[in-house]
């Protein structure tokens, strides 16, 4: 399986590259050949070491061991500007454009400071690069006004403006629509046809199989396997996916088969939302008369492209965002008038997707983070005074029940991994009297083991008769456990589809604006 | 009350307004660059007092105003270099270090002045003015606006220079990126630390120059704590100006006008404490903040030290 | 399998976090005392440069501020207002708000107390008059703090700027009030009416130490306990550490912001009131001890810990009383105290940084 490639010459070669961070080995003796004319997919779960590898190739980090060869000669990549001068351009997972500058100014970013940006020359070069690739770029537009897909195209053009021979795309599809992903695939194809090398990083098997000429699999910092072009071409897609799964997880595919929890007989609506509207803000869409009902033990999925009002819906339900009109009824009781704490006490829980940004206080201990939403409430506080022994005992209990891997309950929560922080949040939201739970992208950024565990947890609580609103941008996830799937688009629900045969296609059509 | 209406009085008032505005203008323009680049430079007051002291001492002993300005600016740059080292290079808290530098340098200059001049406060001769041909002969306005020390015209010209730098140069773009999204600047191959250091050094130079002007031309002498919050006013001007140099100039003139009225009122023999008039500019600023506060925009990464690869 | 990876990541962190706290305490002491000694040496060089023998100076300051009975009593008296200011700053800084308006708040509190106390003692029993004056001063400053508080809470206006502005305004306003409104008609010196010595706060035992010291100590200890042990304190710390998490957890952040400013400014105003009803008895025109900015470094040095702040406030008081004495006797202006404090602050920040880096390197 490791026979040498036939096509292309290696532009960049990694030999035994090792990078350590406090407590972890992010990359452990990684060998890799990156060749011209190939889309080289780097596949791996979160924490497999993909981002660290990219950081070293783009000059942000230096390896602790091993060497990096460029055109066969050893070259330490000292800084981002050095990487650029070596012809290595990177489009990072989180976009690296300055929102307050125009596209032209962003493209000019990085010129020597004493030079004047030459607008006319820039426009000519951009046109020269972008036109054959089918990209349209409005140089005068401010970046904050562009869609995420357009911003990504600007970044790709910027990398090409620098005469990159190697283009690295880090998790480039996470923000794109299905159509945008297909367009990116076609763009990568055109780039490698012109002799560039493309490194495409993803954790999605399907994209790897669809776009890759060569696939390398990273696992726990190690390169655990490679599928060279000739073998890749000879395999059926299904067989290919099975082979990659075997490399990634060392287990059979289908672990996360569709499994919809059985519904309890009681079909009364537990959570009912009528005509909920929220005003739009400069940076977020509003909600327009959202209505739905979720029964006991039912999982209602909310599908849609990111940024269509999902977060606003979750926040409005949780009481975090002011609603203009509409009502929220939980178990027959109106909870419109209640604030976040009041709704929580009634049993409405909201698990945020932004675990570190708003879900937890990173510098606070795990124990306090369990109870962040009930500060001051008995029995952990008595007349407003903290009862540290009770808090600690209860925190230990939750840590055990929810299997949070932490050195101790006094460890700052920010030091835990994403999966364990998610467990802290789940413990907080599910403990003590939950009736309806809103999950916002519950598996976003988690590795497979934690993803599967989280999904099973959601099925379990539905099995216990709770109402679940599952917001996700991952259609497979919704199809794997929801009873019904509603589609949100520009702040309104455009349709609801019962899960079953053909549901995926119908939801997909709703998402791109075609009636199901 | 006839004194208020007379031409000479008006001219003196305007002349005083410009004189009082120049240090604020210089400090504000300087601070503006730091803030654009993402550094909240609370130490600017310390840079100004250093510039005032060194500028005065150097002008006093050499007899040259220009040497005074140069030394003052250099003093400001020296303090800024320390600030850049501590806050930009190794990322210490900008507010803590800024306050420490301000307090320490106010104390140090007072101390040095005491040991140098004991309790005497020697004066410099009046600064020579450079009248602008033709314009200087306009009644009232001529003597108020166009009969100043050359450095005044240069300070106003700096507004134009800054507009050009921010709008037209690569450095201007880099500065804005350093303040709004430093990581983007870094991966584009420009050193964020260096860009921010340059901005802080510029702030120091401008603040030092402003301090030297304040002592040598504005007051003609150095007394401890002479800057009396002028640097902090510079911070306010920069924040209110939202990245536009022109608004720093406008704000500086408004403040300068209020300060000038303090003196003018005394000359005119109006019997209200100077404190009342001293409150006016601050009241004006607070009123502006109450009215327009929501729209004040600051760089996203203001006050946050940059560390490569930090997530 | 990922669980293992996570465990590997967490284990060494635990090792350093859970280490014997005695060693931790020793390290803390080292990175606190070391920089202070270095700062004394550096500031000593400044003294040498201006021709003063640093050893003689320090000796004199310690003698006058700490060892001589009278000096020690003055030092302890000086602590009273400073403790209130430190308590007020701790509340604000722990909640993540930069209240830099201490000078204005302090002076307005002082003027309000000086304006009311001498009149109140004529009609009310002494202790009640002082209490009412104290409360009036507090309320005045709380109202004063509403401007930056509301701007920050509901308009998102940066409080660094507004509190600085309000501080300049407050200092001027205090002067205006002294000169125009509350001027004592009985003297030619521009100052407020004077609270007779007999009506001021009682002194402690047979000393000259004001009983305001006891109130100051009580204030800062209460603030420390509230911030670390109560739900209210935890809410404020949550707002300070992660405002978005506070919103998510259902805390009313704008309201808490206003409350933080009110408490912070109120405590600083109390400091001003205590200084008047306990020590000075009146406010002279253009009086501004600039305690507000001077205490900020103290609170940083104490890392916002109330008990540590008591120690550092004591040190600052020794330095300032000893420094004032040295100014009269040795001819070294008391501004030298500012120089020393700022050098301490900078070296301590550097020491903390080095310690942090050292830990990072050791962990890798």
A242 shares its domain with A379: no
**Confidence band, pLDDT 50/70/90 cuts, at residue A491:** confident
The answer to whether position A149 is within a domain reads no
Residue A513's pLDDT is what?
Answer: 65
Average pLDDT over residues C212-230: 95
Least Cα distance to C227 among C260, C200, C254 occurs for C260
Chain B residue at shortest CA distance from A59: B187
The answer to whether position B309 is within a domain reads no
Residue B23 pLDDT > 50? yes
A212 shares its domain with A278: no
Lowest-pLDDT range, A134-148, B37-51, B150-164, C182-196?
A134-148
B186: tokens are 């870094």
| Most confidently predicted of A89-93, A490-494, B304-308, C90-94 | C90-94
Contact B177 A101 (CB under 8 A): yes
A68 shares its domain with A179: yes
**Confidence band, pLDDT 50/70/90 cuts, at residue B147:** confident
Lowest-pLDDT range, A76-90, B274-288, C74-88?
B274-288
Contact C14 A411 (CB under 8 A): yes
The answer to whether position B229 is within a domain reads yes
A212 shares its domain with A287: no
Domain span at residue B246 reads: 2-118+128-295
A304 shares its domain with A423: yes
Please give the residue that has the higher pLDDT: either B292 or C204.
Answer: C204
Q: Which residues of C touch A381 (CB under 8 A)?
A: 230-231
Distance CA C73, CA C66 (A): 9
Domain span at residue A397 reads: 269-511
A334 shares its domain with A481: yes
CB A90 within 8 A of CB A57: yes
pLDDT tens figures, C321-355 = 998 888 888 888 888 988 998 998 899 888 888 88
Residue A240's pLDDT is what?
Answer: 82
pLDDT tens figures, B209-265 = 999 999 999 888 999 888 888 898 898 888 888 889 999 999 899 888 888 887 777
CB C76 within 8 A of CB C141: no
pLDDT tens figures, B58-88 = 999 998 999 999 999 999 999 999 999 999 9
A25 vs chain C: nearest CA distance in angstroms?
A: 9
Distance CA C257, CA C249 (A): 15
CB B242 within 8 A of CB B109: no
Please give the residue that has the higher pLDDT: either B74 or B304.
Answer: B74
pLDDT tens figures, C307-320 = 999 999 999 999 98
Residues 335-394 of A with CB under 8 A from C: 339-341, 344, 352, 354, 357-364, 368, 372-373, 375-376, 381, 384-386
pLDDT tens figures, B118-136 = 778 888 888 777 887 777 7
Domains: count for chain B: 1
Half-sphere exposure of A205 (CA within 13 A, CB side): 17
Contact A411 C10 (CB under 8 A): yes
A268 vs chain C: nearest CA distance in angstroms?
A: 29
What average pLDDT is seen over chain B? 86
Q: Is some CB atom of chain A closer than 8 A to the CB atom of B184?
A: yes
Omega before A508 within 30 of 0, i.e. cis: no
The answer to whether position B175 is within a domain reads yes
Contact C238 A375 (CB under 8 A): yes
A202 shares its domain with A289: no
Q: Is the dihedral of CA A163, A168, A171, A176 positive or negative?
A: positive
| Beta bridge mates, A18 | A65
| Domain containing residue B153: CATH number | 1.10.3470
**Confidence band, pLDDT 50/70/90 cuts, at residue A5:** very low
Query: Among the residues of A257-387, which ranges form H helices?
Result: 310-318, 340-346, 366-370
pLDDT tens figures, A226-282 = 888 888 888 887 788 778 777 776 544 445 567 788 776 566 789 999 999 999 876
Which of A221, A249, A277 marks a domain boundary?
Answer: A249
The answer to whether position B110 is within a domain reads yes
Residue A91's pLDDT is what?
Answer: 87
A510: tokens are 């709703």
Q: Point out the residue among A363, A376, A386 whose CB comes nearest to the CB of C241.
A: A363
Residue C190 pLDDT > 50? yes
Compute the count of residue pairs across chains B and C with CB atoms less than 8 Å apart: 135
Average pLDDT over residues A377-402: 91
Residue A265's pLDDT is what?
Answer: 54
Distance CA C322, CA B191 (A): 47
The CB-based long-range contact list for A284-290 (8 Å cut-off, 24+ gap) reads A284/A309, A284/A311, A284/A312, A285/A309, A285/A312, A285/A490, A285/A491, A286/A312, A286/A324, A286/A491, A287/A312, A287/A313, A287/A316, A287/A323, A287/A491, A287/A492, A288/A490, A288/A491, A288/A492, A289/A326, A289/A492, A290/A326, A290/A492, A290/A493
The answer to whether position A131 is within a domain reads no
| pTM, 2 dp | 0.83
| Beta bridge mates, A300 | A469, A484
Q: Is some CB atom of chain A closer than 8 A to the CB atom of B309?
A: yes
A356 shares its domain with A208: no
Residue C17 pLDDT > 50? no
The answer to whether position B154 is within a domain reads yes
A378 shares its domain with A275: yes
Residue A514's pLDDT is what?
Answer: 60
Residue C201 pLDDT > 60? yes
Lowest-pLDDT range, A6-20, A80-94, B57-71, C192-206?
A6-20
- Order across the sheet with A325-330: list the strands: A287-295, A269-278, A325-330, A333-334
The answer to whether position B308 is within a domain reads no
Least Cα distance to A26 among A67, A68, A54, A58 occurs for A54
Helix axes C231-241, C253-274, angle to 10 degrees: 110
CB B106 within 8 A of CB C335: yes
Least Cα distance to C39 among C331, C327, C296, C349 occurs for C349
Query: Among the residues of B37-149, which ranges form H helices?
Result: 44-62, 65-83, 94-117, 141-145
What number is the ipTM of this complex? Answer: 0.86
The answer to whether position A145 is within a domain reads no
Q: Which residues of C touch B241 (CB under 8 A)?
A: none
**Confidence band, pLDDT 50/70/90 cuts, at residue B202:** very high
CA B109 to chain centre: 18
Which of A215, A249, A283 marks a domain boundary?
Answer: A249
A111 vs chain B: nearest CA distance in angstroms?
A: 7
Residue B2 pLDDT > 50? no
What average pLDDT is seen over chain C? 87
- Chains within contact range of chain B (3+ C-beta pairs < 8 Å): A, C
Residue B149's pLDDT is what?
Answer: 84
Percentage of residues of chain C with pLDDT beyond 90: 53
CB A373 within 8 A of CB A343: no
Distance CA A492, CA A291 (A): 9
| Domain containing residue A387: CATH number | 3.40.50.300
The answer to whether position B236 is within a domain reads yes
CB B51 within 8 A of CB B160: no
Residue B311's pLDDT is what?
Answer: 39
b/e per residue A114-124 (b: at least 16 CB within 10 A): eeebeeeebee
Residues 279-308 of B with CB under 8 A from A: 308
Distance CA C132, CA C120 (A): 8
pLDDT tens figures, A28-72 = 889 999 999 899 998 876 667 888 888 899 888 889 889 999 988
The answer to whether position B305 is within a domain reads no
Which of A191, A220, A249 marks a domain boundary?
Answer: A249
The answer to whether position A445 is within a domain reads yes
Percentage of residues of chain A with pLDDT beyond 90: 28
Distance CA B234, CA B241 (A): 10
b/e per residue A416-442 (b: at least 16 CB within 10 A): bbbbbbbbbbbbbbbbeebbbbbbbbb
A327 shares its domain with A412: yes
Q: Is some CB atom of chain C closer than 8 A to the CB atom of A419?
A: yes
Q: Which residues of B touch A61 (CB under 8 A)?
A: 309
b/e per residue B34-62 (b: at least 16 CB within 10 A): bbbbbbbbbbbbbbbbbbbbbbbbbbbee
B5 vs chain C: nearest CA distance in angstroms?
A: 27
Q: Is the dihedral of CA A167, A171, A176, A182 positive or negative?
A: positive
Domains: count for chain A: 2
Contact A320 C250 (CB under 8 A): yes
Residue A24's pLDDT is what?
Answer: 63
């Amino acid at each position: 399986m490791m026979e040498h490639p036939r096509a292309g010459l290696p532009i960049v070669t990694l030999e035994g590259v090792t990078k350590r961070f406090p407590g972890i080995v992010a990359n452990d003796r990684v060998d890799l050949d990156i060749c011209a004319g190939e889309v080289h997919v780097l596949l791996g779960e979160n924490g497999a070491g993909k981002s660290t590898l990219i950081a070293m190739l783009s000059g942000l980090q230096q390896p602790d061991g091993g060497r990096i060869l460029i055109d066969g000669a050893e070259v330490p990549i000292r800084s981002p500007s050095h990487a650029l001068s070596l012809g290595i351009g990177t489009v990072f997972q989180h976009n690296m454009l300055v929102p307050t500058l125009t596209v032209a100014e962003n493209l000019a970013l990085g010129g020597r400071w004493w030079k004047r940006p030459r607008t006319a020359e820039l426009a000519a070069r951009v046109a020269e690069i972008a036109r054959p690739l089918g990209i349209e770029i409005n140089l005068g537009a401010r970046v904050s006004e562009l869609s995420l897909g357009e911003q990504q195209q600007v970044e790709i053009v910027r990398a090409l403006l620098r005469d990159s021979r190697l283009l690295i795309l880090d998790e480039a599809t996470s923000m794109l629509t299905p159509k945008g992903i297909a367009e990116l695939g076609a763009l990568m194809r055109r780039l490698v046809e012109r002799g560039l090398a493309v490194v495409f990083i993803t954790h999605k098997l399907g994209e790897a199989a669809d776009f890759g000429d060569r696939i390398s699999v990273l696992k726990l910092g190690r390169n655990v396997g490679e599928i060279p072009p000739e073998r890749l071409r000879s395999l059926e897609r299904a067989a290919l996916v099975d082979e990659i799964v075997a490399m990634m997880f060392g287990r059979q595919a289908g672990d996360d088969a569709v499994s919809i929890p059985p519904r309890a007989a009681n079909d009364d609506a537990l959570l009912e939302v009528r005509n909920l509207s929220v005003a739009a803000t400069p940076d977020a869409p509003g909600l327009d008369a959202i209505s739905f009902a979720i029964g006991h033990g039912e999982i209602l999925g909310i599908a849609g492209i990111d940024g269509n009002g999902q977060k606003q819906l979750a926040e409005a339900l949780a009481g975090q965002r002011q609603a203009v009109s509409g009502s929220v009824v939980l178990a027959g009781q109106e909870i419109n008038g209640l604030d976040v704490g009041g709704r929580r006490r009634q049993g409405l829980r909201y698990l945020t997707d932004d675990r570190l940004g708003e879900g937890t206080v990173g510098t606070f201990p795990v124990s306090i983070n369990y109870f962040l939403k009930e500060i001051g409430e008995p029995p952990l506080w008595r007349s407003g005074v903290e009862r540290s022994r009770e808090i600690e005992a209860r925190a230990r209990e939750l840590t055990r029940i929810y299997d949070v891997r932490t050195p101790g309950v006094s460890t700052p929560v920010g030091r835990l991994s994403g999966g364990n922080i998610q467990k802290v949040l789940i413990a907080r939201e599910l403990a003590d009297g939950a009736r309806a739970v809103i999950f916002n992208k519950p598996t976003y950024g988690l590795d497979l083991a934690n993803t599967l565990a989280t999904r099973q947890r959601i099925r379990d609580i539905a099995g216990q008769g709770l109402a679940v609103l599952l917001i996700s941008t991952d259609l497979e996830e919704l199809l794997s456990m929801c009873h019904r799937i509603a589609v949100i688009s520009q702040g309104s629900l455009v349709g609801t589809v019962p899960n079953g045969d053909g549901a995926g296609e119908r939801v997909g059509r709703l998402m791109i604006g075609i009636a199901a | 009350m006839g004194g208020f209406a007379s031409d000479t009085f008006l001219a003196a008032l305007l002349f005083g307004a410009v004189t009082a505005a120049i240090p604020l203008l210089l400090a504000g323009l300087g601070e503006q660059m730091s803030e654009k680049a993402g550094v909240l430079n609370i130490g600017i007051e310390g840079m100004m007092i250093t510039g005032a002291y060194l500028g005065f001492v150097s002008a006093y002993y050499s007899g040259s105003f220009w040497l005074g300005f140069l030394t003052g600016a250099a003093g400001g740059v020296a303090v800024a270099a320390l600030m850049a080292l501590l806050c930009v290079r190794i990322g210490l808290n900008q507010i803590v270090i800024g306050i420490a530098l301000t307090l320490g340098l106010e104390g140090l200059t007072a101390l040095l002045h005491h040991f140098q001049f004991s309790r005497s406060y020697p004066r410099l001769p009046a600064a020579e003015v450079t009248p602008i041909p033709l314009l200087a002969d306009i009644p009232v306005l001529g003597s108020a606006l166009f009969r100043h020390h050359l450095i005044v015209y240069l300070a106003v010209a700096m507004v134009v220079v800054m507009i050009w730098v921010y709008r037209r140069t690569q450095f201007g773009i880099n500065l804005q990126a350093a303040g709004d999204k430093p990581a983007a600047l870094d991966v584009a191959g420009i050193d964020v630390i260096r860009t921010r250091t340059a901005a802080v050094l510029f702030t120091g130079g401008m603040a030092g120059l402003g301090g030297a002007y304040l002592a040598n031309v504005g007051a003609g002498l150095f007394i401890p704590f002479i800057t009396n919050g002028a640097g902090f006013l510079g911070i306010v001007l920069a924040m209110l100006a939202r990245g536009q140099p022109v608004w720093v100039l406008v704000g500086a003139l408004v403040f300068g006008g209020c300060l000038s009225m303090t003196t003018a009122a005394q000359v005119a023999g109006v019997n209200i404490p100077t404190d009342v008039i001293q409150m006016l500019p601050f009241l004006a600023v607070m009123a502006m903040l109450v009215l327009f506060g929501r729209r004040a925009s600051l760089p996203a990464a203001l006050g946050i030290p940059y560390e490569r690869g930090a997530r | 399998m990922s669980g293992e990876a996570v465990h590997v990541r967490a284990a060494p962190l635990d090792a350093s976090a859970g280490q014997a706290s005695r060693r931790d305490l020793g390290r803390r002491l080292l990175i606190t005392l070391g920089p202070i000694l270095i700062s004394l040496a550096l500031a000593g060089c400044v003294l040498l440069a201006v021709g003063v023998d640093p050893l003689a100076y320090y000796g004199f300051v310690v003698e006058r501020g700490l060892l001589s009975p009278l000096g020690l009593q003055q030092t302890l008296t000086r602590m009273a207002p400073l403790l209130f200011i430190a308590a007020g700053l701790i509340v604000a800084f722990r909640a993540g708000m930069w209240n830099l308006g201490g000078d204005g708040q302090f002076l307005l509190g002082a003027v309000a107390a000086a304006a009311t106390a001498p009149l109140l003692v004529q009609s009310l029993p002494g202790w009640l008059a002082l209490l009412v004056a104290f409360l009036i001063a507090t309320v005045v400053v709380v109202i004063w703090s509403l401007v930056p508080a509301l701007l920050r809470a509901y308009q998102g206006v940066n409080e660094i700027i507004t509190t600085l502005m309000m501080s300049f305004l407050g200092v001027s306003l205090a002067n205006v009030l002294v000169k125009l409104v509350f001027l004592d008609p009985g003297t030619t010196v521009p100052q407020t009416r004077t609270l007779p010595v007999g009506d001021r706060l009682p002194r402690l035992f047979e000393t000259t130490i004001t009983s305001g010291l006891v109130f100051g100590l009580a204030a800062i200890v209460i603030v420390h306990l509230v911030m670390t042990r109560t739900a209210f304190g935890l809410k404020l710390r949550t707002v300070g550490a992660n405002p978005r998490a506070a919103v998510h957890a259902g805390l009313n952040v704008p309201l808490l912001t206003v409350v933080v400013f009110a408490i912070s400014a109120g405590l600083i105003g109390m400091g001003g009131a205590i200084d008047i009803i306990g020590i000075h008895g009146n406010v002279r025109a253009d009086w501004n001890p600039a305690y507000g900015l001077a205490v900020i470094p103290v609170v940083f040095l104490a890392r916002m810990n109330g008990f540590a702040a008591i120690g550092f406030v004591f040190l600052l008081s020794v330095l300032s009383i000893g420094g004032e004495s040295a100014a009269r006797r040795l001819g070294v202006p008391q501004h030298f105290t500012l120089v020393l404090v700022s050098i301490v602050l900078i070296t301590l920040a550097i020491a903390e940084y080095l310690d942090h880096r050292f830990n990072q390197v050791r962990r890798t």
